[in-house]
C-alpha cells in the first residue's frame, strides 16, 4: 500500500510504499533557527520509479531540485539531474553529489546496516536533517 501525508499547505511530506519511505520528523523542516520548508514528490514517484523533487522555502524564494536515486548502485546514490539556478549542483570531493540549497549543502552519507540512505543538511547553518529509507 502507498500512503501520503501532507502538511497544512497540502505538500506531500511523507511517502510510504513497499519500496520507499521518506521521513520528515515533524511534517515540515524546522529547527531552532526557524528555517522551515517542505518535501514534495513528483506524481510518478511510485514503486518501481525513482524520481524525487526536493522543494525548500528559504530566503524568500522556493528552490526546486530534481534528482534520481540510483538503485543499481551499492549503496544506492542520489544523482542530481537538474536544479534551479539559485540552487546549483556540484560533485563533492568524495565523488558523491551535493545539492546546494543556497543556504548550505545537502550531502549523501553512507548507508548503514539497516539499509537507510541518509541525506544530512548542515544543521550548523540553519538546516534540519531528513532521511530517505529504502
- What is the percentage of the chain residues whose pLDDT exceeds 70? 0
Residue with C-alpha cell 533557527?
33
Cell of 122: 548542515
Cis peptide leading into 75, omega within 30 of 0?
Answer: yes
Report pLDDT digits (tens) over 9-50. 554 444 333 222 233 332 333 222 222 333 333 332 333 334
Distances (CA, A) of 124 to 23, 25, 66, 92, 93: 21, 18, 25, 19, 20
Q: Is the pLDDT score of 112 beyond 50? A: no
Share the mean pLDDT of the chain: 37
Contact call for residues 40 and 76 (beta carbons, < 8 A): no
Instruction: Compute how many other C-beta atoms are within 10 angstroms of the C-beta atom of residue 121.
Output: 23
What backbone phi and psi angles, to 5 degrees, belong to 51?
Answer: -80, 135
What backbone phi and psi angles, to 5 degrees, belong to 119?
Answer: -110, 115
Q: What is the pLDDT of residue 79?
A: 53
Residue with C-alpha cell 511534517?
27
The residue among 134 and 90 whose pLDDT is bigger is 90
Report pLDDT digits (tens) over 46-91. 333 344 444 333 333 333 344 455 545 554 455 544 443 333 333 3
- What is the percentage of the chain residues whose pLDDT exceeds 90? 0
Amino acid at each position: 500500500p502507498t500512503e501520503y501525508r501532507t502538511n497544512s499547505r497540502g505538500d506531500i511530506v511523507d511517502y510510504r510504499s513497499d519500496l520507499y519511505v521518506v521521513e520528515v520528523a515533524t511534517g515540515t523542516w524546522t529547527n531552532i533557527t526557524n528555517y522551515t520548508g517542505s518535501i514534495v514528490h513528483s506524481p510518478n514517484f511510485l514503486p518501481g520509479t525513482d524520481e524525487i523533487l526536493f522543494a525548500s522555502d528559504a530566503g524568500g524564494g522556493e528552490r526546486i531540485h530534481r534528482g534520481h536515486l540510483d538503485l543499481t548502485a551499492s549503496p544506492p546514490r542520489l544523482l542530481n539531474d537538474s536544479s534551479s539556478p539559485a540552487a546549483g549542483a556540484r560533485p563533492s570531493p568524495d565523488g558523491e553529489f551535493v545539492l546546494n540549497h543556497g543556504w548550505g549543502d545537502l550531502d549523501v552519507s553512507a548507508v548503514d546496516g539497516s539499509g537507510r540512505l541518509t541525506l544530512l543538511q548542515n544543521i550548523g547553518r540553519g538546516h534540519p536533517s531528513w532521511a530517505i529509507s529504502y
